[in-house]
Amino acid sequence: MSRGFVKEDDLEHAGTDLPERPISSHVNYVTPVGLHQLENEADALDKERLALLSQKDNETAKQRLAVIDRDLRYLSARLEQAILVEPANQDSSTVLFGAKVKVEDEDGALLQFHLVGEDEADITQQKVSYVSPIAKALIGRKVGDCVVWQRPAGAMTLDIIEISYSI
């Protein structure tokens, strides 16, 4: 696009009017690892923010500062609301927050899920939010229980094989 169609004011404010990151309405339970991740992310952003403050006349730096400030507000709220749950203090016979649950599906395939806080969830590491459908199906159950996981692809029956609370 030609610069003739862009107001100078628009360029100065591009990227600085960001929407806030939504804060979940669910209780912010965190594992020790999840709390550490939130703290580390906030510390890293604080350091990056300090480094960029000297470049505040640079438009790219201004845009990045806006993103950092928004993310710091989000992390600050999440840390303020965090409720630390020590997995070692959980009832090891029942699936609760922080549990690692090994299940067997209808086809005999073994799956493992670690029930964690919303900010810690990462399916590539088998970490699922405690408010996810799979977690809701598992919470409160015991080894030997059979649960039905309601998925968009259809219901799946899972047998709970093992529950652990190791970090």
Confidence grade of residue 166 (pLDDT, cut at 50, 70, 90): confident
23-84 domain in CATH 1.10.287?
A: yes
In the predicted model, what is the mean pLDDT of the chain?
Answer: 90
Q: Mapping DSSP to helix (H, G, I), strand (E, B) and coil, where does residue 103 land?
A: strand
Confidence grade of residue 11 (pLDDT, cut at 50, 70, 90): very low
Give the per-residue SS3 of 113-130.
EEEECCCCCEHHHCEEEC
**Residue-range domain boundaries for the chain:** 23-84, 87-164
- Residue matched to tokens 């652990």: 164
Global pTM reads 0.84
Q: Is the pLDDT of residue 17 over 90?
A: no
**pLDDT higher at 13 or 119:** 119
Q: How many CA atoms lie within 13 A of 163 on its CB side?
A: 24
Average confidence (pLDDT) over 1-15: 50
CATH class of 87-164: alpha beta
> Is-same-fold flag (23-84; 87-164)?
no
Q: Is the pLDDT of residue 167 over 80?
A: no
**pLDDT tens digits for 86-117?**
998 898 999 999 999 999 999 999 999 999 99
Print burial letters for 56-68: b (CB count within 10 Å at least 16), e (below 16). eeeeeebbbbbeb
Task: Tell how strand 127-129 and strand 100-105 pair up.
Answer: unpaired
Q: How many helices (H) and strands (E) does the chain have?
A: 4, 7
